Amino acid sequence: MLTYISICLIIYYMNKVTKTQRSALKSIRDSKGRFFGLYTRQGNVYNAQFINETDNYITIHDRNYGENVKLAKTSIKSVKIN
């Protein structure tokens, strides 16, 4: 039988940001308002500009569609900055 603590630990480890994602987030923070390519684990690709960050989410501006997008940090796959 699963206890409350074991359930919390399972959720914590499922949503933990990996080393690759932490590196991508650092690159996003250091982009200084420039546009960059953002690839997600779901297969989406964004031509993005960093706007805001919370503990679990980042907000970007998608240049192609002209709208703001809120993404979970755990959904980031990689970043390409020229």
What are the extents of the domains in the chain? 18-80
**Binning pLDDT at 50, 70 and 90, where does residue 6 land?**
confident
Residue percentage of the chain with pLDDT more than 70:
89
Residue 36: the pLDDT is 97
Q: Which residues contact 71 (CB under 8 A, 6 or more apart)?
A: 38, 40, 57, 58, 59, 60
Residue 43: the pLDDT is 95
H helices present in 1-82, as ranges? 4-14, 19-29
Calpha distance 28→81 (Å, rounded): 9
CATH of domain 18-80: 2.30.30.100
pTM of the model: 0.79
**Binning pLDDT at 50, 70 and 90, where does residue 10 land?**
low
Q: For residue 78, is pLDDT > 90?
A: yes
Over range 19-47, report the average pLDDT.
94
